[in-house]
Chains A and B, each alone.
Chain A
Amino acid sequence: MKIYNVPLTLVDSLKTKEIIVRSPTPTDLLHYLSEIQSDNLIGIQLLSVEKDNSILSEIELSIPIELNIDDPSSEYSKLYNYVELSRRVDFKVSIKVKPDFEKAVKVALSLGYQVKLEVGQPDDTLVNNLIEIFKHYLSNPTVTCPVEFFHSVLIAFFHKHSTNIWEIQDEDPSSNIYIKDNGQKALSMRLNEIILEDNVDNFLDERRLQLLIEQGECATCRFFTYCIGYFKIPDNSYRCNKILELFDIIKTAADQLRLDLQETNKHDGAHE
């Protein structure tokens, strides 16, 4: 099943597909939503954070809403305005990893929102903050909601599953297609300069092959199975040494969790 992320204005042309509709403001959403008759509407993406979003209370919704935070340093305080909405619907905030993103993540988590990190190609300082946030997510007992991509990567390391960040971040074109405002198919909102060909199901396999042929950092990377060069786009010369540090920390945490669980099971077994 493929999910299409479409602008409000193009919903009509894709209404037979499973769609996530994105809207610049809650007002636009309200305006169009009455016209959208699609049973295949599976989610809503709000592209801006509003001071006053009371208009959203007029909408009867049973589908998930994702709110984009593009500029965390100016927008994190507005997250308090979504408490009411988050109680009514499956609510997630997608936070761009830019300066002060960690403040936005902490506020979101304290309010019980699910978080998705739009990670991109972070510099060393931002990766240090990602590490700090991962530790906060892992060890703070008040955090009850998942922070993606941390959560799925941790689970994958724990169960030794194969999953990858493209899939976790909804950027694998075999399952998610981003439709630009002009109707072109692109890889994702973040990578909307990368226009997709018609046959996109082999995108990740072809990427894997290409990275191995290039014999760059990815070919022998210990996290390649989970990453498949995610951090090498758009700038292929991005160096991953700090990202590898983050992956190592997540992996160590997963290994430790597994050991703890084994110990607990052993202990329980001894008492049966």
Chain B
Amino acid sequence: MQIRSIYLSIKPTLSCNAKCVYCDTLQPSTILPIDLMETLFEKLASFTKSNKIKYVTINWHGGEPMLMGLKFYANVIDLQKKYIKNVELVHKMQSNVTLYKGNLRKVLKKLLNSRIIGTSLDPFHPTRSILNGENYYIKCLEGIYLLLKDGFQVSVIYVVHKKSLKVVEKLYYFFKNINIHYVRFLPLLDMTDPQYMITAEEWGVFLKELYDIWENDNFSYIISPLFEWKKAILENVPVRSCESGPISKSGLHLIMSHDGLLYACDRFQIKRTHCIGNIMQMDFDEIINHKETYYVYKKKQLLPKECQICNFSRICMSGCAALHDDTGKTMWCNGIKNTLIHLHSKLTKFMD
């Protein structure tokens, strides 16, 4: 299989300056050493050259990637100049953006050439705080404001929890009013606290209500996953994402943590399973031939029986492979199915 593009999500630190009630990212301050970054660029340069790969995306993730500071990213820019030639290398970032200011802002403006940044925010419930006592909500909004001023497309991840069910309309308009590029709603995972935990059915209830509000507002901005699902239904095309939809082997998708360990999926990195190996000991030819590298792809080739006969398998494809239950389907199956039934009935009027 010819690789045409590489998507590399790098977690240069697992530490964070904030604390979210549903995240246990607070790790001892582990950081990615710059010589490891140099090895990565060296190997990337040789692999892209011998395989004529033209497109590489690096998504800086964490922990909180801005904690690495301006010196680290200035070094990354220098290393890129030294090693990466004839390849379009695009940098993005997923951050809480509360540290986007001052000289770091200047370096990141230079590094993040895609002008794309993602953040996360909960406007109505105290689920996020900054460790030094500053107000997460205000600092994040100020960061978004500066990013928009600097010409970035900002997207927001909102984690849907039990309390979100009461404020669906407020959430929809709040995110619209920030003036961001899109908002991605994700159901809360790995949390048993009944105050926050939601069931698959509740996820469906949330999405259906959200859809009705969105339709009533003439679909005026992009909300995920409803945007992709609506497009898939109306245009009869598959959703292109590793989560819900088929994925292609021609795009190599890797997550690298601060210690150089590689995974095929962010959730495998968090759970530390299905590890591919370490960039310091492997080159890219070994990586692409490793059985774990295409774990997600292989899972999507072999859907469980219920998904094979499901009317929505073209759109859902059994959901995120890291979240499959014992039956091999996503744990959110009921919610997704109910939402897609709702969307289908509502969208028929747009179909002729």
Contact = CB atoms under 8 A, between A and B. Distances in A.
Contacts of B178: 212
Interface string A79-96: 000000000000000000
Contacts of A225: 176-177, 179
Interface string A203-234: 00100110011010011111011000000000
A225 B176 CA distance: 8
Contact of B174 (A160, A209, A220): A220
B218 A219 contact: no
A131 B220 CA distance: 25
B174 A219 contact: yes
14 contacts: A205-B145, A208-B177, A208-B179, A209-B141, A212-B177, A212-B178, A215-B123, A220-B169, A220-B174, A221-B173, A222-B217, A224-B177, A225-B179, A255-B218
Contact of B142 (A209, A224, A255): A209
A220 B217 contact: no
A220 B173 contact: yes
B272 interface: no
B123 A205 contact: no
A213 B138 contact: yes
A219 B218 CA distance: 20
A104 to B, nearest CB: 34
Label chain A's interface by main secondary structure.
Answer: helix
Lowest 6 A-B CB distances belong to which pairs? A220-B170, A224-B177, A220-B173, A209-B145, A220-B174, A222-B173
Given A208-B179, A213-B141, A219-B174, 9 more contacts: A202-B149, A205-B148, A209-B142, A209-B145, A213-B138, A215-B123, A220-B169, A225-B176, A225-B177
A160 B123 contact: no
Contacts of A160: 218, 220
Contacts of A205: 145, 148-149
Contacts of B179: 208, 225
Interface string B115-149: 00000000100000000000001100110010011
Given A213-B138, A213-B141, A220 B149 contact: no
B123 A219 contact: yes
B174 to A, nearest CB: 5
A60 B253 CA distance: 72
Contacts, number: 39
Interface residues of A, number: 16
Interface string B202-234: 000000000000000110100000000000000
Identify the interface centre among B142, B170, B174: most chain A CB within 10 Å of its CB.
B174
A212 B141 CA distance: 8
A167 B178 CA distance: 19
A205 B178 CA distance: 10
A202 B174 CA distance: 21
Q: Which of A205, A209, A215, A224 has the most CB of B within 10 A?
A: A209
Contacts of A219: 123, 174, 177
A105 to B, nearest CB: 29
Contacts of A218: 177
A221 B138 CA distance: 19
With most chain A CB atoms within 10 A of its CB, the pick from B141, B142, B145, B170 is: B145
Contacts of B123: 215, 219
A220 B170 CA distance: 5
Nearest to B169: A220
Contacts of A221: 173, 177
Interface in B274-303: none
A160 B173 CA distance: 16
A123 B72 CA distance: 57
A215 B178 CA distance: 12
A160 B148 CA distance: 21
B324 to A, nearest CB: 36
A219 B174 CA distance: 6
A220 B138 contact: no
A209 to B, nearest CB: 5
Interface in A96-153: none
